[in-house]
Amino acid sequence: MKAVRGLSLAVAMLACAPLPQTGDVIPGSGGTSAAITPADLSVRMYAFAHDSMMGREAATEGGLKTARYLAAEAARMGLEPAGDGGTFYQLVPLTQRGYDESRQITVDGQPLTIWAEYIPRDVGTTPRSLDGSTAIYGGNWGDTASLISREQAAGKVVVIMPAPGGQGLAGLPTRAAVAARFPNAAAIAVGGLERLPASTIAALREGRPGLPRPEGPAPESPLYMYVSAEGLRKLLGADPAGLTPGHVGRPVSGQPAFGQMPLPIPTYNVVAKIRGSDPALAGQYVAFGAHSDHVGTGRAVDHDSLRAYNMVFRRGGAGPATARVSPEGMQRMRAILDSLRATRPMRLDSIYNGADDDASGSVGLLEIAEAFAAQPVKPKRSLIFVWHMAEEMGLIGARWFTTNSTVPRDSIITAIVVDMIGRGTAADAEDGGPNYLQVLGSGRRSSELDATVNAVAARPAFNWQLDRSFDAPGHPERFFCRSDHYMYARFGIPVAFFHTGSHVDYHMVTDEAQYIDFDKLSKVSNFMKVLGENIADRDRPFVLDKPAPDPNAACRQ
């Protein structure tokens, strides 16, 4: 990005974005029944997680096609629009934020070369001016005892060398830790740019999508940048390997800045409602939520080889490795791959279909909405269905909806949110099976909601073995903070979040419809409907006997 655009221009351009047309829908939509069945969910899944959806990434043609499909289905089922301006669409005003390349950084009057000698990292704040500053060698992060003091770093461009060894971003110092050590620096220059893979450099250069920054001054912080060996020599006047911490380098100047521009393809939440049957309670809502996006496309890989590898070494898919590569493991992997090769030839795959994550939740919500729409007598309270976009970019669609709710936010008495509800079999997890279901958040705001979840889960039709372990305070996976339900919970809305667990295909191109357990998905969807109806027909909202979090504070697991 070469020019900083004002926020007012970004919002104005987004406001003019045309609404997607609902006529261009996916083959396979329609033809489902009022009942929530494995067959109907399969029809929807194979349409929604189809390759033609291009991975459903926000701000792409695939994301637009996703919104069109959901809105067309909501209209076909007779749901009421609950988005912007009487439509099913709520515009999520994503912008692309990136470094303003016109803002040169100079060392002793000579410019550093952007993207070659230094790469700035956007941390969401306003970088401090570098005018009048001087470079100083802060030390090697592998020897924290020798690092310069906070006082020595104040107002300086602090050069930090990474610990020896290590590759990629993970081999460099943690940004948050370095920034916390030197909060008063003018800038922090971390050596080791050469360690970054091309994909990371491309991502940093492209910038990141997000919601528009508010007008007016933002908090200041040191500019954080990765610097090449040549850039370090320019800053310090010598190779840092021969320097001691505290060495004063050359004068630095510049006014670094990040700007934002609207993305060329707009992004939409899809929002629909069913009006409650009791006039006295119809102004209150039970919300059902799922995210409709995934992560788009990537480099083509052999589908079956990747899956065989993950089945042995990465049981959590994109999560951490679960076993070390060994000759025995490679032999098991080869046996799995040979069995797959016996049934089909090699196939290259580059589309992250996101069948479980979260096509499962999205099609589950469609089936629940269709079942409610077909009922002659609707629940007493109204129901609102929200398919959030840009969850994979940081819960952005849910943040936008809950901050700018299309119904009064305090009228939402409970939110039932799901993400990845189509797996959880014994093949996926050691304790998995047809009755395995994770629940998070249901007791964090209201003990009554938690009791209701337990009571409905214990019914013979469900007999869920509820796993609450991931809801534990401080759990390292931080699931409570990692999906859309938290955007409701931060405002004090009681939430119940359901999940059937991770698996070998999580955030992999192998997360496809063929691996979904449609019986399980049907059971979870039916459970959500019964639970939602139970809540919607209560004589009063739940007692809120637990404290609400600060909506502007960081999430605490």
Whole-Å CA distances, 23 to 34, 66, 351, 510: 23, 12, 24, 30
Radius of gyration of the chain (CA): 26
Residue 208 — pLDDT band, cuts 50, 70, 90? confident
Which H, E and C letters describe 218-237, residue by residue?
CCEECEEEEECHHHHHHHHC
Please report where in the chains the tokens 């959500």 appear, as a residue: 528
Phi, psi (5° rounding) for residue 171? -85, -5
Which residues lie closer than 8 Å to 395 by C-beta, 6 or more apart? Answer: 388, 483, 484, 486, 487
pLDDT at 304 over 80: yes
pLDDT tens for each residue of 457-507: 999 999 999 999 999 999 988 999 999 999 999 999 999 999 999 999 999
Predicted local confidence at residue 218, as pLDDT: 73
pLDDT at 3 over 50: no
Q: Which amino acid is at 67?
A: A
- Which segment of 13-22, 191-200, 280-289, 427-436 scores lowest on mean pLDDT? 13-22
d(CA 288, CA 138): 51
Residue 292 — pLDDT band, cuts 50, 70, 90? very high
CB 58 within 8 A of CB 12: no
Q: Residue range 300-310: average pLDDT?
A: 96
Q: Is 114 helix (H, G, I), strand (E, B) or coil?
A: strand
Phi, psi (5° rounding) for residue 160? -120, 130
Residue 320 — pLDDT band, cuts 50, 70, 90? confident
CB 316 within 8 A of CB 76: no
pLDDT at 455 over 50: yes
Predicted local confidence at residue 431, as pLDDT: 86
pLDDT tens for each residue of 346-360: 999 999 999 999 999
Paired with 436 in beta bridges are 465
- Going across the sheet that includes 258-262, the strands are 208-210, 95-99, 258-262
pLDDT at 21 over 90: no
Domain with CATH 3.50.30 in the chain: 97-260
Which residues lie closer than 8 Å to 434 by C-beta, 6 or more apart? Answer: 425, 519, 520, 523
Predicted local confidence at residue 216, as pLDDT: 67
326 vs 32, more confident: 326
pLDDT tens for each residue of 58-99: 999 999 999 999 999 999 999 999 999 999 999 999 998 889
Residue 20 — pLDDT band, cuts 50, 70, 90? low
Longest dimension (CA), the chain: 80
pLDDT tens for each residue of 361-399: 999 999 999 999 999 999 999 999 999 999 999 999 999
Q: Residue range 310-337: average pLDDT?
A: 94
Is 3.30.750 the CATH number for 97-260?
A: no
pLDDT at 293 over 60: yes
CB 89 within 8 A of CB 83: yes
pLDDT tens for each residue of 158-187: 999 998 877 767 778 888 889 999 999 999
Which H, E and C letters describe 8-37, residue by residue?
HHHHHHHHCCCCCCCCCCCCCCCCCCCCCC
Predicted local confidence at residue 125, as pLDDT: 85
Predicted local confidence at residue 203, as pLDDT: 85
pLDDT at 259 over 90: no
Q: 242: how many CB neighbours lie within 10 A of its CB?
A: 8
pLDDT tens for each residue of 103-143: 999 999 999 999 999 999 988 789 999 999 999 999 999 88
Predicted local confidence at residue 30, as pLDDT: 56
Q: What is the chain's mean pLDDT, rounded?
A: 92
pLDDT at 284 over 60: yes
Predicted local confidence at residue 24, as pLDDT: 42
pLDDT tens for each residue of 469-478: 999 999 988 9
pLDDT at 1 over 90: no
Percent of the chain exceeding pLDDT 70 equals 94
Domain with CATH 3.40.630.10 in the chain: 35-94+265-296+352-536
Sign of CA dihedral 535, 502, 92, 486: positive
Query: For the domain with range 35-94+265-296+352-536, which CATH number is right: 3.40.630.10, 2.60.120.10, 3.20.20.140, 3.40.50.300?
Result: 3.40.630.10
Q: Which two tokens stand for residue 294?
A: 């995934």
| Strand 133-140, strand 157-161: pairing | parallel
Please report where in the chains the tokens 């922090």 appear, as a residue: 188
| Strand 267-274, strand 187-191: pairing | unpaired
Which residues lie closer than 8 Å to 479 by C-beta, 6 or more apart? Answer: 438, 440, 470, 471, 499, 557
Percent of the chain exceeding pLDDT 90 equals 80
pLDDT at 207 over 90: no
